[in-house]
């Protein structure tokens, strides 16, 4: 595990990219790390492209700037590949994770020759099979933990269960579906 891992999230307003970034900071904190999770707001509205960031570090984090050379990038909506330069600054030793229903071969030409690892996840399929509702950030979060290895999968699931139980205190019925989505995403990301 690297001393500092930097992650950039691309999504559209309303899809929960910011929530995913904050949740990742949350669970990473529980493993003893220093964390920073923050959104970058443009004109805030449903459907507009938004960016969010995570720094996960063994040391105190003092810097307060955006992340320009991330280790990993998550794209929560594949329509962004046409309008946002998602691989900009992305380290070739790192990787990019894309939520898409398309096969990987159709996605690769849209990545401007990025030479690092490319992962895809059909988050819609995972969501519909587990939660019956499309909240792509939940499976994307699990897939990001898997590819970035910022923590052990077991630890991640344990921490998420506690965190979701707290978050959905008043809606306990959704906990099982969320946990199933996380587990399924861990196995289905390719």
Partner 1 sequence: MAIRTRMSGNEATAYAIRQINPDVMPAFPITPSTEIPQYVSNMVANGEVDTEFIPVESEHSSMSAAIGASAAGARTLTATSSAGLAFMWEVVYVAASSRLPIVMAVVNRGLTGPLNINAEHSDSMGARDSGWIQIYGENNQEAYDNMLQAFRIAEHESVHLPVMICQDGFITSHAVENISLLEDEPVKQFVGEYEPEHYMLKDQEPMAVGPYAVSNYCMEAKKAQAEAMIRAKDAILQVAKEFEAISGRSYGLFEEYQMEDALYAIVAIGSVCGTAKDAIDRLRAGGMKVGLIKVRVFRPFPGEELAEALRKVKAIAIMDRCESYSAQGGPLGAELTAAMYRAGLDAKTVNIVYGLSGRDVRVEDIEQVYADLREMAEEGKTFAQYPYLGLRER
Residues binding partner 1 (CB under 8 A): 22, 25-26, 29, 34-41, 44, 60-66, 68
C-beta separation of 155 from 142 below 8 A? no
Which is nearer to partner 1, 40 or 101 (by Cβ)?
40
Helices (H), 4-152: 17-30, 104-107, 123-130, 137-148
C-beta separation of 186 from 54 below 8 A? no
Which is nearer to partner 1, 66 or 133 (by Cβ)?
66
Residue 146 Cβ, how far from partner 1 at the closest point, in Å?
22
Which is nearer to partner 1, 58 or 152 (by Cβ)?
58
Interstrand relation of 95-99 and 72-75 (parallel, antiparallel or unpaired): parallel
From 66, 64, 86, 62, select the one nearest 11 (Cα to Cα).
Answer: 86
Residue 128 Cβ, how far from partner 1 at the closest point, in Å?
30
Residue 34 Cβ, how far from partner 1 at the closest point, in Å?
5
Which is nearer to partner 1, 9 or 119 (by Cβ)?
9
SS3 at position 183: helix
CA distance 110 to 102: 12
Residue 80 Cβ, how far from partner 1 at the closest point, in Å?
20
């Amino acid at each position: 595990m690297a001393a500092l891992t930097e992650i950039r999230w691309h999504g559209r307003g309303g899809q929960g990219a910011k929530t995913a970034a904050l949740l990742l900071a949350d669970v990473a904190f529980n493993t003893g790390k220093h964390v920073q999770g923050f959104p970058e707001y443009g004109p805030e509205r449903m459907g507009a492209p938004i960016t969010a960031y995570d720094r996960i570090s063994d040391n105190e984090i003092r810097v307060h700037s955006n992340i320009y050379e991330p280790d990993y990038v998550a794209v929560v909506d594949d329509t962004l590949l046409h309008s946002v330069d998602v691989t900009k600054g992305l380290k070739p030793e790192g990787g990019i994770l894309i939520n898409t229903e398309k096969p990987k071969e159709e996605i690769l030409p849209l990545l401007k020759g990025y030479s690092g690892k490319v992962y895809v996840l059909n988050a819609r399929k995972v969501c519909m099979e587990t939660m019956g509702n499309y909240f792509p950030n939940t499976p994307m979060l699990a897939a990001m933990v898997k590819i970035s290895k910022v923590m052990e999968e077991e630890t991640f699931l344990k921490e998420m269960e506690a965190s979701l139980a707290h978050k959905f205190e008043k809606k306990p019925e959704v906990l099982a579906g969320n946990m199933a989505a996380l587990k399924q995403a861990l196995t289905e990301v390719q």
